[in-house]
Structure 1
Amino acid sequence: MSLKPDIVLVGGGGHCKVVISIIKKLDMFNISGISELKENLGKEVLGIMTKYTDDQLEELHDKGIKYAFVTLGSVGTPDNRIRLFEMLKQTGFEIPVIISKDAIVDETVEIDEGTVIMPGAIINPGTKIGKNCIINTGAIIDHDCMIGDQVHIAPGVTLSGSVKISMGSHVGTGASVIQGINIGRNVLIGAGSVVTKDVEDNSRVMGVPARRISQSRNDKKGIERDV
Protein backbone atom coordinates (compact mmCIF):
# COMPACT_ATOMS: atom_id res chain seq x y z
CA MET A 1 0.00 0.00 0.00
CA SER A 2 1.39 3.40 -1.00
CA LEU A 3 2.14 5.88 1.77
CA LYS A 4 2.05 8.77 -0.68
CA PRO A 5 -0.99 11.06 -0.41
CA ASP A 6 -3.64 10.87 -3.12
CA ILE A 7 -4.12 13.78 -5.51
CA VAL A 8 -6.83 14.40 -8.11
CA LEU A 9 -6.02 16.31 -11.29
CA VAL A 10 -8.60 18.64 -12.81
CA GLY A 11 -8.37 18.88 -16.60
CA GLY A 12 -7.22 16.11 -18.93
CA GLY A 13 -5.60 17.70 -21.98
CA GLY A 14 -2.02 18.17 -23.14
CA HIS A 15 -1.03 20.30 -20.15
CA CYS A 16 -2.18 17.46 -17.92
CA LYS A 17 0.25 15.09 -19.65
CA VAL A 18 3.23 17.20 -18.66
CA VAL A 19 2.05 17.60 -15.06
CA ILE A 20 1.54 13.83 -14.78
CA SER A 21 5.07 13.26 -16.07
CA ILE A 22 6.47 15.69 -13.49
CA ILE A 23 4.51 14.13 -10.61
CA LYS A 24 5.61 10.63 -11.56
CA LYS A 25 9.27 11.66 -11.55
CA LEU A 26 8.90 13.48 -8.23
CA ASP A 27 7.19 10.42 -6.70
CA MET A 28 5.40 12.69 -4.21
CA PHE A 29 1.75 11.79 -4.85
CA ASN A 30 -0.42 8.89 -5.89
CA ILE A 31 -2.57 10.22 -8.74
CA SER A 32 -6.09 9.03 -7.91
CA GLY A 33 -7.54 10.07 -11.26
CA ILE A 34 -8.50 12.95 -13.51
CA SER A 35 -11.66 15.07 -13.36
CA GLU A 36 -13.06 16.10 -16.73
CA LEU A 37 -16.25 16.69 -18.70
CA LYS A 38 -18.69 13.77 -18.77
CA GLU A 39 -18.00 13.04 -22.42
CA ASN A 40 -14.33 12.42 -21.61
CA LEU A 41 -14.91 9.87 -18.84
CA GLY A 42 -13.04 6.62 -19.44
CA LYS A 43 -10.18 8.18 -21.38
CA GLU A 44 -6.59 7.66 -20.23
CA VAL A 45 -3.87 10.29 -20.06
CA LEU A 46 -0.41 8.70 -19.71
CA GLY A 47 -1.99 5.73 -18.00
CA ILE A 48 -4.12 7.80 -15.60
CA MET A 49 -7.86 7.23 -15.91
CA THR A 50 -10.35 10.05 -16.39
CA LYS A 51 -12.99 8.89 -13.93
CA TYR A 52 -14.43 11.92 -12.16
CA THR A 53 -16.46 14.99 -13.02
CA ASP A 54 -16.21 18.30 -11.21
CA ASP A 55 -19.45 17.72 -9.30
CA GLN A 56 -17.80 14.71 -7.63
CA LEU A 57 -14.86 16.66 -6.22
CA GLU A 58 -16.51 17.58 -2.92
CA GLU A 59 -17.39 13.92 -2.35
CA LEU A 60 -13.79 12.90 -3.10
CA HIS A 61 -12.53 15.42 -0.57
CA ASP A 62 -14.97 14.14 2.04
CA LYS A 63 -13.71 10.60 1.39
CA GLY A 64 -10.15 11.61 2.23
CA ILE A 65 -8.47 12.93 -0.92
CA LYS A 66 -6.99 16.15 0.40
CA TYR A 67 -4.88 17.27 -2.56
CA ALA A 68 -5.93 18.52 -5.98
CA PHE A 69 -4.26 20.38 -8.83
CA VAL A 70 -5.53 22.32 -11.85
CA THR A 71 -4.18 20.58 -14.96
CA LEU A 72 -6.25 22.52 -17.48
CA GLY A 73 -3.95 24.55 -19.70
CA SER A 74 -4.28 28.22 -20.53
CA VAL A 75 -4.16 29.75 -24.00
CA GLY A 76 -4.82 33.47 -24.03
CA THR A 77 -7.19 33.70 -21.08
CA PRO A 78 -6.90 32.12 -17.61
CA ASP A 79 -10.62 32.35 -16.82
CA ASN A 80 -11.28 28.60 -16.67
CA ARG A 81 -8.13 27.93 -14.65
CA ILE A 82 -9.17 30.64 -12.18
CA ARG A 83 -12.65 29.15 -11.87
CA LEU A 84 -11.30 25.66 -11.19
CA PHE A 85 -8.67 26.90 -8.74
CA GLU A 86 -11.27 28.82 -6.74
CA MET A 87 -13.60 25.82 -6.77
CA LEU A 88 -10.87 23.57 -5.35
CA LYS A 89 -10.03 26.11 -2.65
CA GLN A 90 -13.69 26.46 -1.65
CA THR A 91 -13.99 22.67 -1.46
CA GLY A 92 -11.07 22.58 0.97
CA PHE A 93 -8.39 20.89 -1.11
CA GLU A 94 -4.73 21.59 -0.52
CA ILE A 95 -3.16 22.73 -3.79
CA PRO A 96 0.58 22.09 -3.87
CA VAL A 97 3.41 23.73 -5.76
CA ILE A 98 4.78 21.30 -8.36
CA ILE A 99 8.35 21.84 -9.58
CA SER A 100 9.93 19.59 -12.18
CA LYS A 101 13.16 17.86 -11.22
CA ASP A 102 14.49 19.17 -14.52
CA ALA A 103 13.93 22.84 -13.62
CA ILE A 104 16.53 25.08 -11.97
CA VAL A 105 14.96 27.17 -9.22
CA ASP A 106 17.08 29.21 -6.82
CA GLU A 107 16.42 28.56 -3.15
CA THR A 108 15.42 32.20 -2.58
CA VAL A 109 12.55 32.04 -5.08
CA GLU A 110 9.06 32.27 -3.53
CA ILE A 111 6.30 30.30 -5.25
CA ASP A 112 2.67 30.29 -4.15
CA GLU A 113 0.16 27.43 -4.19
CA GLY A 114 -1.09 25.82 -7.37
CA THR A 115 1.83 26.89 -9.54
CA VAL A 116 3.68 24.44 -11.77
CA ILE A 117 7.29 24.86 -12.93
CA MET A 118 7.89 22.84 -16.10
CA PRO A 119 11.06 21.01 -17.23
CA GLY A 120 13.95 23.18 -18.33
CA ALA A 121 12.70 26.36 -16.68
CA ILE A 122 15.32 28.52 -14.96
CA ILE A 123 14.25 30.89 -12.19
CA ASN A 124 16.91 33.10 -10.64
CA PRO A 125 17.28 34.66 -7.14
CA GLY A 126 14.83 37.14 -5.69
CA THR A 127 11.90 36.19 -7.91
CA LYS A 128 8.36 35.83 -6.54
CA ILE A 129 5.63 33.87 -8.35
CA GLY A 130 1.96 33.95 -7.39
CA LYS A 131 -0.84 31.40 -7.24
CA ASN A 132 -2.02 29.06 -10.00
CA CYS A 133 0.67 30.10 -12.47
CA ILE A 134 2.22 28.09 -15.30
CA ILE A 135 5.95 28.57 -15.83
CA ASN A 136 6.26 26.54 -18.97
CA THR A 137 8.99 24.46 -20.57
CA GLY A 138 12.32 26.19 -21.01
CA ALA A 139 11.22 29.60 -19.71
CA ILE A 140 13.99 31.79 -18.27
CA ILE A 141 13.08 34.16 -15.45
CA ASP A 142 15.97 36.27 -14.27
CA HIS A 143 16.57 37.86 -10.87
CA ASP A 144 13.99 39.84 -8.89
CA CYS A 145 11.01 39.32 -11.18
CA MET A 146 7.51 39.65 -9.70
CA ILE A 147 4.87 37.44 -11.30
CA GLY A 148 1.28 37.82 -10.12
CA ASP A 149 -1.44 35.22 -9.62
CA GLN A 150 -2.88 33.28 -12.59
CA VAL A 151 -0.07 34.20 -15.01
CA HIS A 152 1.06 31.90 -17.83
CA ILE A 153 4.68 32.18 -18.97
CA ALA A 154 4.69 30.09 -22.15
CA PRO A 155 7.51 27.84 -23.43
CA GLY A 156 10.79 29.54 -24.26
CA VAL A 157 9.92 32.95 -22.79
CA THR A 158 12.79 35.09 -21.48
CA LEU A 159 12.21 37.64 -18.73
CA SER A 160 15.18 39.84 -17.92
CA GLY A 161 15.79 41.09 -14.39
CA SER A 162 13.21 42.99 -12.33
CA VAL A 163 10.28 42.43 -14.70
CA LYS A 164 6.83 42.71 -13.12
CA ILE A 165 3.85 40.86 -14.60
CA SER A 166 0.45 41.45 -13.02
CA MET A 167 -2.44 39.05 -12.45
CA GLY A 168 -3.98 37.09 -15.30
CA SER A 169 -1.48 37.95 -18.03
CA HIS A 170 -0.17 35.58 -20.71
CA VAL A 171 3.32 35.85 -22.21
CA GLY A 172 3.34 33.91 -25.49
CA THR A 173 5.83 31.32 -26.67
CA GLY A 174 9.33 32.62 -27.25
CA ALA A 175 8.58 36.22 -26.23
CA SER A 176 11.25 38.33 -24.54
CA VAL A 177 10.78 41.11 -22.00
CA ILE A 178 13.70 43.43 -21.29
CA GLN A 179 14.78 44.42 -17.79
CA GLY A 180 12.62 46.53 -15.52
CA ILE A 181 9.43 46.36 -17.62
CA ASN A 182 6.00 46.45 -15.94
CA ILE A 183 3.23 44.43 -17.61
CA GLY A 184 -0.29 45.12 -16.41
CA ARG A 185 -3.22 42.85 -15.55
CA ASN A 186 -4.89 40.63 -18.15
CA VAL A 187 -2.32 41.41 -20.84
CA LEU A 188 -1.74 39.10 -23.81
CA ILE A 189 1.76 39.22 -25.31
CA GLY A 190 2.00 37.53 -28.70
CA ALA A 191 4.44 34.71 -29.44
CA GLY A 192 7.93 35.87 -30.37
CA SER A 193 7.36 39.46 -29.32
CA VAL A 194 10.09 41.65 -27.80
CA VAL A 195 8.67 43.94 -25.12
CA THR A 196 10.74 47.09 -24.57
CA LYS A 197 8.16 49.38 -22.91
CA ASP A 198 5.63 49.05 -20.11
CA VAL A 199 2.26 47.54 -21.10
CA GLU A 200 -1.10 48.80 -19.81
CA ASP A 201 -3.80 46.59 -18.28
CA ASN A 202 -6.02 44.57 -20.67
CA SER A 203 -3.81 45.16 -23.71
CA ARG A 204 -2.83 42.84 -26.57
CA VAL A 205 0.69 43.43 -27.85
CA MET A 206 2.88 41.72 -30.39
CA GLY A 207 5.82 42.24 -32.72
CA VAL A 208 9.47 43.25 -32.60
CA PRO A 209 9.44 45.62 -30.86
CA ALA A 210 6.03 44.87 -29.40
CA ARG A 211 3.19 47.20 -30.37
CA ARG A 212 -0.30 47.37 -28.91
CA ILE A 213 -2.85 46.04 -31.38
CA SER A 214 -5.92 46.56 -29.18
CA GLN A 215 -6.85 47.88 -25.78
CA SER A 216 -8.79 44.72 -24.90
CA ARG A 217 -7.15 41.30 -25.02
CA ASN A 218 -10.50 39.98 -26.28
CA ASP A 219 -10.63 42.39 -29.23
CA LYS A 220 -8.88 40.85 -32.24
CA LYS A 221 -9.36 43.83 -34.59
CA GLY A 222 -7.52 46.60 -32.78
CA ILE A 223 -5.35 49.23 -34.46
CA GLU A 224 -1.59 48.93 -34.04
CA ARG A 225 0.14 51.66 -32.04
CA ASP A 226 3.33 51.98 -30.06
CA VAL A 227 3.27 50.33 -26.64
Structure 2
Amino acid sequence: MSSKIDIVLVGGGGHCKVVISILNKIGKYNIVGISDTKEKLGQKILGIPIKYTDDQLEELFEKGIKHALVTLGSVGNPEHRIRLFNMLKRIGFELPVVISPDSVVDDTVDIGDGSVIMPGVIINADTKIGKNCIINTRASIDHDCVIEDHVHIAPGVTLSGSVIIEEGSHIGTGASIIQSVKIGKFSIIGAGSVVIKDIKDNIKVFGNPAEIRGKEK
Protein backbone atom coordinates (compact mmCIF):
# COMPACT_ATOMS: atom_id res chain seq x y z
CA MET A 1 0.00 0.00 0.00
CA SER A 2 1.29 3.47 -0.93
CA SER A 3 2.25 5.74 1.96
CA LYS A 4 1.73 8.83 -0.15
CA ILE A 5 -0.91 11.40 0.79
CA ASP A 6 -3.85 11.68 -1.62
CA ILE A 7 -4.44 15.22 -2.88
CA VAL A 8 -6.79 16.85 -5.39
CA LEU A 9 -5.70 19.90 -7.39
CA VAL A 10 -8.29 22.60 -8.03
CA GLY A 11 -7.80 24.49 -11.28
CA GLY A 12 -6.04 23.39 -14.46
CA GLY A 13 -3.67 25.29 -16.72
CA GLY A 14 -0.05 26.40 -16.76
CA HIS A 15 0.25 27.07 -13.02
CA CYS A 16 -1.18 23.64 -12.31
CA LYS A 17 1.45 22.12 -14.60
CA VAL A 18 4.32 23.61 -12.58
CA VAL A 19 2.72 22.54 -9.28
CA ILE A 20 2.41 18.97 -10.57
CA SER A 21 6.09 19.03 -11.49
CA ILE A 22 7.02 20.19 -7.98
CA LEU A 23 4.80 17.59 -6.29
CA ASN A 24 6.35 14.87 -8.44
CA LYS A 25 9.81 15.92 -7.27
CA ILE A 26 8.76 16.05 -3.62
CA GLY A 27 7.33 12.54 -3.90
CA LYS A 28 5.06 12.91 -0.86
CA TYR A 29 1.68 13.20 -2.58
CA ASN A 30 -0.49 11.04 -4.82
CA ILE A 31 -2.47 13.35 -7.13
CA VAL A 32 -5.89 11.73 -7.48
CA GLY A 33 -6.99 14.17 -10.19
CA ILE A 34 -7.73 17.77 -11.09
CA SER A 35 -10.99 19.69 -10.64
CA ASP A 36 -12.01 22.27 -13.23
CA THR A 37 -14.98 23.28 -15.39
CA LYS A 38 -17.19 20.70 -17.13
CA GLU A 39 -15.76 21.82 -20.48
CA LYS A 40 -12.30 20.62 -19.47
CA LEU A 41 -13.31 17.17 -18.22
CA GLY A 42 -11.23 14.46 -19.86
CA GLN A 43 -8.24 16.67 -20.59
CA LYS A 44 -4.88 15.85 -19.01
CA ILE A 45 -2.12 18.03 -17.57
CA LEU A 46 1.26 16.27 -17.43
CA GLY A 47 -0.65 13.00 -17.51
CA ILE A 48 -2.99 13.92 -14.63
CA PRO A 49 -6.66 13.84 -15.73
CA ILE A 50 -9.19 16.60 -15.17
CA LYS A 51 -11.94 14.38 -13.85
CA TYR A 52 -13.81 16.41 -11.25
CA THR A 53 -15.81 19.62 -11.06
CA ASP A 54 -15.97 21.87 -8.02
CA ASP A 55 -19.39 20.56 -6.99
CA GLN A 56 -17.81 17.11 -6.48
CA LEU A 57 -15.16 18.28 -4.02
CA GLU A 58 -17.30 17.85 -0.92
CA GLU A 59 -18.06 14.28 -1.97
CA LEU A 60 -14.35 13.61 -2.49
CA PHE A 61 -13.65 14.89 1.03
CA GLU A 62 -16.31 12.61 2.46
CA LYS A 63 -14.70 9.67 0.62
CA GLY A 64 -11.41 10.31 2.39
CA ILE A 65 -9.46 12.76 0.21
CA LYS A 66 -8.45 15.24 2.92
CA HIS A 67 -5.82 17.34 1.10
CA ALA A 68 -6.33 19.85 -1.70
CA LEU A 69 -4.49 22.73 -3.32
CA VAL A 70 -5.62 25.71 -5.39
CA THR A 71 -3.74 25.35 -8.67
CA LEU A 72 -5.58 28.01 -10.62
CA GLY A 73 -3.14 30.76 -11.58
CA SER A 74 -3.64 34.47 -11.01
CA VAL A 75 -2.71 37.39 -13.24
CA GLY A 76 -3.71 40.59 -11.49
CA ASN A 77 -7.04 39.46 -10.05
CA PRO A 78 -6.96 36.96 -7.16
CA GLU A 79 -10.76 36.77 -6.82
CA HIS A 80 -11.13 33.22 -8.13
CA ARG A 81 -8.16 31.88 -6.14
CA ILE A 82 -9.61 33.41 -2.97
CA ARG A 83 -13.05 31.90 -3.68
CA LEU A 84 -11.57 28.44 -4.25
CA PHE A 85 -9.34 28.66 -1.18
CA ASN A 86 -12.27 29.63 1.04
CA MET A 87 -14.44 26.88 -0.44
CA LEU A 88 -11.80 24.22 0.25
CA LYS A 89 -11.34 25.48 3.82
CA ARG A 90 -15.11 25.44 4.38
CA ILE A 91 -15.32 21.82 3.24
CA GLY A 92 -12.52 20.93 5.63
CA PHE A 93 -9.58 20.20 3.33
CA GLU A 94 -6.03 20.62 4.55
CA LEU A 95 -4.08 22.85 2.15
CA PRO A 96 -0.39 22.02 2.41
CA VAL A 97 2.54 24.35 1.88
CA VAL A 98 4.39 23.28 -1.26
CA ILE A 99 8.06 24.24 -1.54
CA SER A 100 10.08 23.32 -4.61
CA PRO A 101 13.24 21.36 -3.80
CA ASP A 102 14.94 23.74 -6.25
CA SER A 103 14.28 26.79 -4.07
CA VAL A 104 16.23 28.22 -1.10
CA VAL A 105 14.00 29.04 1.87
CA ASP A 106 15.53 29.97 5.22
CA ASP A 107 14.45 27.90 8.22
CA THR A 108 13.05 31.02 9.93
CA VAL A 109 10.55 31.74 7.13
CA ASP A 110 6.88 31.27 8.10
CA ILE A 111 4.58 30.17 5.25
CA GLY A 112 0.77 29.96 5.39
CA ASP A 113 -1.59 27.22 4.21
CA GLY A 114 -1.82 26.53 0.49
CA SER A 115 1.09 28.69 -0.60
CA VAL A 116 3.44 27.45 -3.32
CA ILE A 117 7.13 28.30 -3.60
CA MET A 118 8.33 27.76 -7.17
CA PRO A 119 11.76 26.63 -8.48
CA GLY A 120 14.66 29.05 -8.14
CA VAL A 121 13.01 31.18 -5.44
CA ILE A 122 15.16 32.61 -2.64
CA ILE A 123 13.49 33.69 0.62
CA ASN A 124 15.72 35.04 3.37
CA ALA A 125 15.52 35.15 7.17
CA ASP A 126 12.44 36.11 9.19
CA THR A 127 10.18 36.68 6.21
CA LYS A 128 6.48 35.80 6.55
CA ILE A 129 4.42 34.45 3.65
CA GLY A 130 0.63 34.37 4.06
CA LYS A 131 -1.97 31.85 2.93
CA ASN A 132 -2.72 30.92 -0.68
CA CYS A 133 0.23 32.84 -2.10
CA ILE A 134 2.18 32.14 -5.27
CA ILE A 135 5.89 32.90 -5.02
CA ASN A 136 6.83 32.33 -8.62
CA THR A 137 9.94 31.17 -10.44
CA ARG A 138 13.25 32.83 -9.44
CA ALA A 139 11.67 35.50 -7.25
CA SER A 140 14.05 36.88 -4.61
CA ILE A 141 12.63 37.98 -1.26
CA ASP A 142 15.06 39.39 1.27
CA HIS A 143 14.96 39.42 5.08
CA ASP A 144 12.03 40.55 7.22
CA CYS A 145 9.51 40.91 4.41
CA VAL A 146 5.78 40.38 5.03
CA ILE A 147 3.71 38.91 2.21
CA GLU A 148 0.05 38.77 3.20
CA ASP A 149 -2.64 36.29 2.06
CA HIS A 150 -3.51 35.68 -1.61
CA VAL A 151 -0.54 37.61 -3.03
CA HIS A 152 1.12 36.62 -6.32
CA ILE A 153 4.82 37.41 -6.59
CA ALA A 154 5.46 36.83 -10.31
CA PRO A 155 8.64 35.36 -11.87
CA GLY A 156 11.87 37.27 -11.39
CA VAL A 157 10.56 39.78 -8.83
CA THR A 158 13.11 41.27 -6.38
CA LEU A 159 12.01 42.46 -2.95
CA SER A 160 14.61 44.16 -0.77
CA GLY A 161 14.52 43.82 3.02
CA SER A 162 11.47 44.70 5.15
CA VAL A 163 9.06 45.11 2.23
CA ILE A 164 5.36 44.64 3.02
CA ILE A 165 2.93 43.36 0.38
CA GLU A 166 -0.64 43.48 1.64
CA GLU A 167 -3.48 41.09 0.86
CA GLY A 168 -4.37 40.23 -2.72
CA SER A 169 -1.77 42.32 -4.52
CA HIS A 170 0.04 41.24 -7.68
CA ILE A 171 3.71 42.05 -8.22
CA GLY A 172 4.40 41.71 -11.96
CA THR A 173 7.21 39.84 -13.64
CA GLY A 174 10.66 41.32 -13.05
CA ALA A 175 9.47 44.16 -10.81
CA SER A 176 11.80 45.46 -8.08
CA ILE A 177 10.76 47.00 -4.77
CA ILE A 178 13.32 48.79 -2.59
CA GLN A 179 13.72 48.28 1.13
CA SER A 180 10.94 49.10 3.61
CA VAL A 181 8.32 49.95 0.96
CA LYS A 182 4.70 49.00 1.62
CA ILE A 183 2.30 47.91 -1.13
CA GLY A 184 -1.39 48.23 -0.21
CA LYS A 185 -4.18 45.70 -0.64
CA PHE A 186 -5.31 44.47 -4.06
CA SER A 187 -2.85 46.65 -5.95
CA ILE A 188 -1.00 45.78 -9.15
CA ILE A 189 2.66 46.50 -9.77
CA GLY A 190 3.34 46.28 -13.51
CA ALA A 191 6.01 44.04 -14.99
CA GLY A 192 9.50 45.49 -14.84
CA SER A 193 8.52 48.35 -12.54
CA VAL A 194 10.86 49.81 -9.93
CA VAL A 195 8.97 50.85 -6.80
CA ILE A 196 10.71 53.35 -4.53
CA LYS A 197 7.79 54.60 -2.41
CA ASP A 198 4.69 53.25 -0.67
CA ILE A 199 1.65 52.34 -2.79
CA LYS A 200 -1.90 52.62 -1.40
CA ASP A 201 -4.72 50.08 -1.70
CA ASN A 202 -6.35 49.27 -5.05
CA ILE A 203 -3.78 51.10 -7.19
CA LYS A 204 -2.13 50.19 -10.50
CA VAL A 205 1.44 51.39 -10.99
CA PHE A 206 4.16 50.75 -13.53
CA GLY A 207 7.35 52.28 -14.84
CA ASN A 208 10.81 53.17 -13.56
CA PRO A 209 10.27 54.75 -11.16
CA ALA A 210 6.75 53.35 -10.81
CA GLU A 211 3.92 55.89 -11.13
CA ILE A 212 0.17 55.57 -10.57
CA ARG A 213 -1.64 54.55 -13.77
CA GLY A 214 -5.12 53.81 -12.45
CA LYS A 215 -7.20 52.21 -9.73
CA GLU A 216 -8.50 48.72 -9.28
CA LYS A 217 -12.26 48.23 -8.96
Aligned to 2:85: 85
1:74 to 2:74 alignment? yes
CA distance in 2 between partners of 1:28 and 1:171 (Å): 30
Aligned to 1:182: 182
1:9 is paired with a residue of what secondary structure? strand
How far is 1:104 from its partner? 0.2
1:95 is paired with a residue of what secondary structure? coil
List aligned pairs for 1:89-104, cutoff 5 A: 89-104=89-104
Deviation by residue 1:21-68 (Cα, 9 ceiling, x = unmatched) = 000000010000000100100000001011000000000000000000
How far is 1:2 from its partner? 1.3
**Superposition CA RMSD, Å:** 0.5
Aligned to 1:20: 20
Amino acid at match of 1:217: E
Deviation by residue 1:65-92 (Cα, 9 ceiling, x = unmatched) = 0000000000011000000000000000
CA distance in 1 between partners of 2:39 and 2:148 (Å): 34
Aligned to 1:30: 30
List aligned pairs for 1:62-211, cutoff 5 A: 62-211=62-211
1:52 to 2:74 alignment? no
Amino acid at match of 1:45: I
> Which runs of no fewer than 5 residues in structure 1 stay unpaired?
219-227
TM-score, normalisation: structure 1: 0.95
1:87 is paired with a residue of what secondary structure? helix
1:156 is paired with a residue of what secondary structure? coil
List aligned pairs for 1:215-226, cutoff 5 A: 216-218=215-217
- How many residue pairs get matched? 217
How far is 1:3 from its partner? 1.3
2:32 is paired with a residue of what secondary structure? strand
How far is 1:217 from its partner? 2.2
Deviation by residue 1:155-204 (Cα, 9 ceiling, x = unmatched) = 00000000001000000000000000011000100000000000000000
> Which runs of no fewer than 5 residues in structure 2 stay unpaired?
none
Calculate percent identity across the aligned residue pairs: 67
TM-score, normalisation: structure 2: 0.99
Amino acid at match of 2:18: V
